[in-house]
């Protein structure tokens, strides 16, 4: 991939220019779907965009010293890494990519979560610190499953290149991996039943408690981009391949949309679990599931 | 390392301003302190400056949820001071409004509990059903929050068409049986968040002196509607649900079963509504000097009024209220000790607190 293509992918498609409206759209879909299931009207189509603009116009408290600087830096880092993750997704076929871009994508997907943890501790708020501690525990729990699921798919299909992976036919093991990924998404996106770091009835907004104005707007944007990247990853692995580029793009968007809807249904049909129940869930059930997947992937690899 | 975490006075998990200050080690709460008084309005003092008509309207505003039970208890106390006995039809109407109020209060609480578990869909469902209960109350009284039903020696409005109210009630009962009761009793989510959480043993409940559904969920069978019947409760057949576990789930169950018992009482009262006057026609109320007390079973437990009067005066000399939350709130400290931080909003809410009544 040349520098120009890389920049075009990062800034235009599927990067920022595409991903930012997509992030607002997905946030709207999630909010609207949850609202409709709860018998509410829900927000108008442009609401996430209005929220963003409104937050940009608000004042931010002046924070002195390195703590203040860090608090400014974390949301920016989260936005850029989430946008980078989206840019790596092979939405259109034959776009390039490189060997190992899957690993980079996983790393970039993890950065926003680490920024949230750091932001909560930087804010020095008790609610932020508890939220960060919860995010850290949650991240350790679901990430093992998340990484193992992706590794099992990559190992079984002999490639760490996303586009090649997307082009290969789906195996039963791949579906197992996709299911494990889906189980991790609610925790990754902080929605019910794993909305622990931002459990408003317990710790207000958790790590985001001290944030306001354009900094909070950046967090909202990073969250939206995470939605696009995470659902896009699942869509990449699950979407059928089409020769026609527009059909492929359509399948990608439709699948992402379906994943968002699925997550919205889950969020509205469940209560929030406590942290120990959540950790137990990921360590007991899904870990076994993912270990099964990776061991069968290894067996498949040695056999072939 | 232990740290202090304040919950409130303004918090998304609380309906009203009060503060629970918790001392935590990790995610475990080791101790807690409850601070109230953020909603003090000096109502008891104001009552002394109001005449016998105005004081009823004033005391109706002590609570925004159980407004009727306050006027009912106050009117019962004032009836003792004026030697008036409400006619049977008025007694029945008082029971009907009190039970409808219990229904909407319990459903509201179910919604709040669901919200505290992070289950907002259930919260919306509960509030949708509560609206229907309030529609029934509006059909009877013309009001949705402050019904202005009680007066000295009777009630202000008649129920002219009990059959239509009965029809509304049946629809309501079907809805409750379909949604709220199963969520309360069989839902695994509710069970996982509530079973074994915030336990208050029978011995502790008795020593702290809790009342109402709190006491009944800890195995103490007490209900004023049964123990000291007022209005027309003596003529109603109903059970007093009691659970022995003493945890949040037991409190959920007790309230769910009480919803069904309330429906039972309502059906009887509407079916047997006796004919006659709805209040004692008096030209001038003759208060005697003295203090009268009256108790009633509010949705949250026993509420007590002590009203003092001087003969010839239009205003009460003193109106004192003891609300059920005042009796229940010390239990919060014992219930949250050793609990997970994530469970504390639910535990403190399981007493169905009404600090606005308590602060007055």
Of A34, A204, A270, the CB nearest to B189: A270
| Smallest Cα distance from B325 to chain A, Å | 21
Min Cα separation B121/chain A (Å): 5
- Within 8 A by CB and 6+ apart from B199, the residues are B245, B246, B247, B335
**pLDDT tens track for A261-276:** 999 999 888 888 888 8
User: What's the pLDDT band for A195 if we cut at 50, 70, 90?
Assistant: confident
DSSP string, B25-81: ETTEEEEEEEE--TT---HHHHHTTS-TTHHHHHHHTT-SSSHHHHHHHHHHHHHHH
Among A43-52, A222-231, B17-26, which is the least confidently predicted range?
B17-26
C-alpha–C-alpha distance, residues A177 and B243, integer Å: 45
Indicate the SS3 state at residue A232.
helix
Tell me which residue of B82, B73, B235, B64 sits closest to B145, measured CA to CA. B64
- Residue A165 or A59, more confident: A59
Mean pLDDT of chain A: 86
Are B155 and B279 in contact, with CB atoms under 8 Å apart? yes
Total domain count for chain A? 1
Percent with pLDDT over 90 in chain A: 33
Between chain A and chain B, the number of residue pairs with CB atoms below 8 A apart is 73
Question: For residue B190, which residues of chain A lie inside 8 Å, CB to CB?
Answer: 271
Q: Please report residues of A whose CB lies closer than 8 A to that of B249.
A: none
Detail the DSSP E strand segments found in B201-349. 290-298, 301-309, 318-322
Exposure class string for B162-196: b at 16+ Cβ within 10 A, else e = beebeeebeebbebbeebbbebbeebebbebbbee
Q: How far is A252 from chain B (nearest CA, A)?
A: 30
Q: What is the pTM of this model?
A: 0.85
B356: which residues sit within 8 A by CB, 6+ positions away? B16, B39, B62, B63, B64
ipTM of the modeled complex: 0.82
Residues B221 and A206: their CA atoms lie apart, in Å, by: 41
A41 interfacial to chain B (CB closer than 8 Å): no
- Identify the pLDDT of residue B18: 83
Backbone angles phi and psi of B20, in degrees to 5: -115, 115
pLDDT tens for A107-152 read 999 999 999 999 999 988 888 988 998 999 999 889 888 888 888 8
pLDDT the model gives residue A95 = 57
Per-residue model confidence (pLDDT) at position B98 = 93
B118 with A204: Cβ contact below 8 A: no
Distance of CA B89 to the CA centre of its chain: 23
Domain span at A170: 3-303
pLDDT band, very low/low/confident/very high, at A96 (cuts 50, 70, 90):
low
pLDDT at position A45 over 90: yes
**What value does the CA radius of gyration of chain B take, rounded to a whole number of Å?**
20
8 Å CB contact between B120 and B114: yes
Task: Give the pLDDT of residue B359.
Answer: 85
> Which is it for strands B154-155 and B301-309: parallel, antiparallel or unpaired?
unpaired
Chain B residues within an 8 Å CB radius of A37:
121
Residues in chain A closer than 8 A to B116 (CB atoms): 201
CATH number among 3.30.9.90, 3.30.43.10, 1.10.10.10, 1.10.645.10, domain B47-332: 1.10.645.10
Give pLDDT, residue A293. 74
Residues of chain B with pLDDT under 50: none
Give the mean model confidence (pLDDT) for residues A289-298. Answer: 75
* Cα–Cα separations (whole angstroms), residue B8 to A217, B13, B338, B348: 26, 8, 20, 12
Rounded Cα gap, residues B45 and B190, in angstroms: 42
Residue B155 in 3-state DSSP? strand
**Sign of the alpha-carbon torsion through B46, B49, B51, B52:** positive
In the predicted model, what is the mean pLDDT of residues A23-41?
92
Q: Chain A residue with minimal CA distance to B124?
A: A38
Say what the pLDDT of residue A304 is.
65
Q: Which two tokens stand for residue B19?
A: 């503060």
């Amino acid at each position: 991939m040349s520098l120009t293509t890389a920049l075009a992918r990062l800034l235009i498609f599927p990067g920022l220019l595409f991903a930012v409206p997509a992030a607002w759209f997905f946030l709207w879909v999630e909010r609207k779907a949850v609202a409709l299931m709860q018998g509410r009207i829900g927000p108008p189509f442009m609401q996430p965009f209005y929220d963003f603009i409104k937050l940009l116009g608000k004042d931010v408290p002046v924070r002195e010293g390195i703590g203040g600087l860090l608090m400014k830096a974390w949301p920016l880092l989260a936005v850029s890494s989430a946008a980078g993750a989206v840019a790596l997704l092979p939405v259109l076929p034959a776009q390039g990519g490189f060997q190992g871009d899957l690993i980079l994508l996983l790393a970039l997907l993890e950065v926003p979560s680490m920024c949230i943890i750091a932001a909560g501790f930087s804010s020095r708020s008790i609610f932020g610190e508890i939220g960060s501690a919860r995010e850290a525990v949650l991240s350790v729990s679901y990430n093992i499953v998340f990484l193992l699921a992706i590794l099992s798919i990559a190992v079984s299909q002999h490639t760490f290149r996303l586009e090649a992976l997307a082009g290969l036919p789906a195996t039963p093991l791949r579906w197992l991996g996709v299911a494990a990924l889906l189980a991790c998404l609610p925790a990754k996106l902080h929605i019910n039943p794993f909305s622990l770091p931002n459990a408003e009835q317990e710790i207000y907004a958790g790590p985001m408690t001290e944030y306001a104005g354009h900094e909070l707007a950046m967090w909202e944007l990073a969250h939206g981009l995470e939605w696009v990247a995470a659902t896009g990853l699942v869509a990449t692995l699950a979407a059928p391949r089409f020769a026609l580029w527009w059909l492929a793009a359509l399948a990608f968007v439709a699948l992402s949309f379906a994943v968002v809807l699925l997550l919205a249904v889950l969020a509205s049909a469940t209560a929030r679990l406590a942290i120990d129940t959540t950790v137990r869930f990921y360590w007991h059930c899904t870990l076994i599931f993912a270990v099964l997947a990776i061991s069968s992937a290894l067996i498949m690899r040695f056999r072939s | 390392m232990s740290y202090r975490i304040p919950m409130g006075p303004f918090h998304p998990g609380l309906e009203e301003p009060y503060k629970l200050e918790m001392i935590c080690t990790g995610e475990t709460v080791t101790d807690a302190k409850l601070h109230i008084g953020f909603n003090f309005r000096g109502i008891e003092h104001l009552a002394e400056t109001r005449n016998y008509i105005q004081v009823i309207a004033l005391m109706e505003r002590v609570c925004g949820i159980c407004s009727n039970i306050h006027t009912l208890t106050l009117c019962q106390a004032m009836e003792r001071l004026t030697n008036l006995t409400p006619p049977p039809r008025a007694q029945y109407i008082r029971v009907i409004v009190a039970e409808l109020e219990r229904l909407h209060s319990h459903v509201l609480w179910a919604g709040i509990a669901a919200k505290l578990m992070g289950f907002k869909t259930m919260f919306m469902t509960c509030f949708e059903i509560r609206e229907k209960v309030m529609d029934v109350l509006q059909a009877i009284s013309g009001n949705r929050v402050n019904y202005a039903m009680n007066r000295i020696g009777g009630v202000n409005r008649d129920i002219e068409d009990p059959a239509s109210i009965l029809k509304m009630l049946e629809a309501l009962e079907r809805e409750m049986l379909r949604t709220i009761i199963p969520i309360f009793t069989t839902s695994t989510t509710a069970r996982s968040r509530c079973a074994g959480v915030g336990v208050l043993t029978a011995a502790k409940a008795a020593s702290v002196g809790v009342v109402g559904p709190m006491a009944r969920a800890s195995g103490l069978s007490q209900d004023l509607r049964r123990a000291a019947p007022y209005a027309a409760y003596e003529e109603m057949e109903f059970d007093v649900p009691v659970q022995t576990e003493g945890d949040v789930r037991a409190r959920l169950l007790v309230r769910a079963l009480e919803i069904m018992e309330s429906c039972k009482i309502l059906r009887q009262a509407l079916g047997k509504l006796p004919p006659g006057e709805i209040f004692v026609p008096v030209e001038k109320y003759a208060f005697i000097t003295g203090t009268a007390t009256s108790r009633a079973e509010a949705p949250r437990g026993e509420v007590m009024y002590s009203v003092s009067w001087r003969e010839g005066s239009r205003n009460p000399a003193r109106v004192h209220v003891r609300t059920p939350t005042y009796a229940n709130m010390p239990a919060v400290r014992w219930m949250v000790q050793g609990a997970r931080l994530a469970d504390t909003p639910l535990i403190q809410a399981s007493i169905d607190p009404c600090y606005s009544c308590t602060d007055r």
